[in-house]
Amino acid sequence: MYRKVLSYIKDNNLIKPNDKILIALSGGPDSICLLNVLFELREELNISIAAAHLNHLLRGEDAFEDERYVINTCNDMGIKCFVKRVDINAYSKESKLSSEMAGRNARYDFFDEILEKEGFNKIATAHNANDQAETVLFRLMRGTGLEGLGGIRASRDDKIIRPILCLSREEVENYVKLKNLNPRIDKTNFEKIYNRNKIRLDILPYMKENFNEDIVQTLNRMSTLLQKDNEFLEKLSAGLYNKYCMECNDYFIIKKEIFKEEESLVNRVLRHALTRYSKSNYDFEVKHIYEISCLAQKYSGKLVHLPNGVCAENVYGDIYIKTKTKKSDINSKKEEIILGKDNIYINTVEFHKYVIQFSIINGYNENSINLKQGDFVKYFDFDKINNNISIRNRKNGDKIIPLGMSGSKKLKDIFIDMKIPKNERECIPILCFDERIAWVIGIRISEEYKLTSKSTNILKVVVQRKEY
């Protein structure tokens, strides 16, 4: 069994040498199994481990017995054990969360605290293959897509890892029996009032008896396959998102060209835009995605109302995702970043969707400077700047002396000439030196700060859109 877990760890790249792993230890069979397996493998994997137990104060004396059991077990093994007590009932009422969610939040807050204070880099949780099968069935019944059917991931963000996700509950139970570990049993696991337990105690056994003896592994194999499909589709959609979605302050724009792409990807991009715009975990339904797709075929000005205070509008074929009540008057909410000239030496600034990077180059020579690097890499004469550098959105009355011209031109006229829609103009960042416009980013630079053969200190500015 150690071999099985070891190859699962390797196949999924869960653990690296010198990892400091904190084991989430409830005291039940799964976490006790996980503790012992990682303990046995700690030298082979070259890791250090510790455990953390949160007493939820939920099941009276039982909870304290769990706590004592966990502490004693760790002591016997010579493993450090962090323990904390939180009144989940009180926290749940206070935060208006279900006691399950409240417990989860409290646990992860506790784990994160230890990671930070004690220098651990990973949290190991004890989900097993049966948990996986139950999760998949639960999501299937509640309604899901490819992502949900992928179930629990072997790891998340290279921080939370699930090394025994490959073991069935039976394997876990046999292991703890064989090693006389006497884990604690949570009696509520046998009460069918919880949905999870209905799947565990009714649905899976029925399927096993009538359809497939190997149902748990079958569902696990399916999830693994679907995770791969989903990861690939997500990667492709991330590319489309960056290509077709503009995130402005108060609204997002989804360019009409996206609707020529694969429906499967477009749906993902629309869902991502909605979730990201509404800054919540609200799960937009298939029908909402479908409504937006239909909206793109409708006339300009047509609006659909979506849940969670969001609506979508057709603007000449593009889709604007915005807030229901708010009018799209962007000028009311402006941001500006101002940097002193002295603070500019190798510096990175984030402005909305953009990452702007400054660096200084000494002297103009062809090896270090390539003026043809596209619309998002530009060079300026640093010595022409007096005091400060700022990044802001456009303002009424903005003017620039475009490169190669002698007189100034209104920004508005440049935008009109280039046929940039009104609302998009609000999203374009503008780089100013001493309050004068040096670069309408991606659009035009100013004559005033251009390089000459005499330039000695050169400011290089690289602008990138933030990734997905």
The smaller minimum CB distance to a copy of itself, of residues 64 and 232, is found at 232
Closest distance to a copy of itself from the beta carbon of 290 (Å) = 10
Least distance from C-beta 294 to a copy of itself, angstroms? 11
Cβ 156 to a copy of itself shortest distance, Å: 19
Q: Is 394 left (phi over 0), alpha (psi -120 to 50) or beta?
A: beta
Write the Ramachandran bin of 435: left for phi over 0, alpha for psi from -120 to 50, otherwise beta: left
Nearer Cβ to a copy of itself (184/200): 200
H or E, element range at 362: strand 354-362
Q: Is 30 annotated as a binding residue?
A: yes
Residue 26 annotated as lining a ligand binding site = yes
Pick the closer one to a copy of itself by CB: 141 or 360: 141
Nearer to a copy of itself, 202 or 257 (CB): 202
| Cross-sheet strand order for the sheet of 303-305 | 245-247, 252-254, 318-323, 310-315, 303-305
Judged by beta carbon, residue 113 or residue 202, the one nearer a copy of itself is: 202
Nearest distance from C-beta of residue 168 to a copy of itself, angstroms: 16
Q: What distance separates the 2 farthest-apart alpha carbons in the chain? A: 87
Rounded to 5 degrees, φ, ψ at 160 are -100, 125
The CB-of-263 to a copy of itself minimum distance in angstroms stands at 5
Q: Is 109 annotated as a binding residue?
A: no
Backbone angles phi, psi at 330, to 5 degrees: -75, -25
**With respect to a copy of itself, which residue has the nearer C-beta, 193 or 346?**
193
* Residues at the contact surface with a copy of itself, assessed by CB under 8 A: 138, 140-146, 149, 195, 198, 202-203, 206-207, 210-212, 215, 218-219, 221-222, 224-226, 228-229, 231-233, 262-265, 267, 286
Cα separation values, 201 from 138, 168, 216, 219, 260, Å: 13, 15, 13, 17, 47
- Minimum separation from the CB atom of position 80 to a copy of itself (A): 39
CB of 3 to a copy of itself, least distance (A): 16
> Was 317 annotated as part of a binding site?
no
389 and 336 in contact (C-beta within 8 Å)? no
**Joined tokens for residue 46:** 């070259």
Cβ closer to a copy of itself: 214 or 335?
214
Show Cβ contacts of residue 171 under 8 Å, excluding neighbours closer than 6 positions. Answer: 1, 128
Check: CB of residue 435 under 8 Å from CB of residue 326.
no
- 76 contacts: CB under 8 Å, gap ≥ 6: none
Between 8 and 69, whose beta carbon lies closer to a copy of itself? 8
Residue pair 15/47 in contact by the 8 Å Cβ criterion: yes
CB of 98 to a copy of itself, least distance (A): 17
Tokens read off for 20: 């400091």
Angle ∠(179,182,184) on CA atoms, nearest 5: 140
Residue list, annotated binding site: 26-31
Q: Which residues are annotated as a binding site for ATP?
A: 26-31
